[in-house]
């Protein structure tokens, strides 16, 4: 899973560092994408380190109203990072800083506005479109669709035209 204790500790410090740089509650899938992109650690080592950080209270996990876990660095985690951050090479820190900076607007948008499709237990394909502020949903809509192609179109339209679609729905519901 990891080469040695030193590598495992470095993975934990990198996770704390990335969470500090993101500086907002972050879904696990987005955190995973950022941590794995530079290929500094593998998925299993990252998940093991993240679980240990969560269990020890260095990383906080809250579930949003849809049950999706969101991760953030605790005060204790930030204190530990402050004392150990110098063990991460400046080159590695720079790689992750640039990656987080490049992805930050996408991260923020993904956290606040998103859409996905899934197949229900009844075999029906559904789209889930939502707007979330922190861990609270402002809008959360599940729509049955005919097929996967239609689902992808609905999801893309939601992501690209959220304000317009949301306004139409609100106007239709108000007198």
Q: Compute the distance between CA of residue 75 and CA of residue 59 in angstroms, rounded to an integer.
A: 9
Average pLDDT rounded to a whole number, residues 34-53: 91
pLDDT for the residue numbered 12 = 95
pLDDT > 90? residue 175? no
Go through 77-93 and write b for each residue having 16 or more CB atoms within 10 A of its CB, e for each that does not: beebbeeeeeebeeeeb
Average pLDDT rounded to a whole number, residues 30-57: 91
Q: Mean pLDDT of all residues in the chain?
A: 87
Average pLDDT rounded to a whole number, residues 97-104: 86
pLDDT tens sequence across 53-90: 999 999 999 876 567 788 999 999 999 999 999 999 99
Q: What number does CATH give the domain 5-111?
A: 1.10.10.10
Handedness of CA 91, 93, 97, 99 (dihedral sign): positive
Q: How does residue 110 score in pLDDT terms, banded at 50, 70 and 90?
A: low
Q: How does residue 3 score in pLDDT terms, banded at 50, 70 and 90?
A: low
The single-letter DSSP state of residue 89 is -
Average pLDDT rounded to a whole number, residues 129-158: 88
pLDDT for the residue numbered 1 = 44
pLDDT for the residue numbered 136 = 76
Domain boundaries of the chain, sorted by first residue: 5-111, 112-173
Give first-to-last CA distance, the chain, whole Å.
Answer: 59
Contacts of 84 (CB under 8 A, 6+ apart): 13
Q: How does residue 50 score in pLDDT terms, banded at 50, 70 and 90?
A: very high
């Amino acid at each position: 899973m990891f080469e040695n204790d030193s590598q495992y500790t470095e993975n934990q410090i990198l996770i704390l560092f990335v969470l500090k740089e993101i500086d907002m509650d972050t879904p696990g899938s987005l955190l995973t994408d950022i941590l794995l992109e530079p290929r500094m650690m593998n998925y299993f080592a990252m998940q093991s380190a993240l679980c240990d950080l969560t269990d020890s209270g260095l990383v906080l996990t809250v579930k949003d109203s849809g049950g999706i876990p969101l991760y953030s660095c605790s005060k204790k985690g930030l204190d530990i990072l402050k004392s150990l951050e110098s063990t991460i090479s400046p080159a590695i820190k720079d790689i992750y800083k640039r990656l987080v900076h490049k992805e930050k607007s996408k991260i923020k948008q993904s956290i606040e506005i998103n859409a996905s499709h899934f197949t229900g237990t009844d075999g029906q394909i559904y789209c889930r479109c939502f707007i979330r502020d922190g861990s609270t949903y402002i809008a959360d809509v599940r729509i049955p669709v005919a097929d996967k192609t239609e689902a992808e179109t609905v999801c893309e339209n939601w992501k690209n035209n959220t304000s317009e679609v949301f306004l139409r729905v609100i106007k239709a519901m108000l007198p």
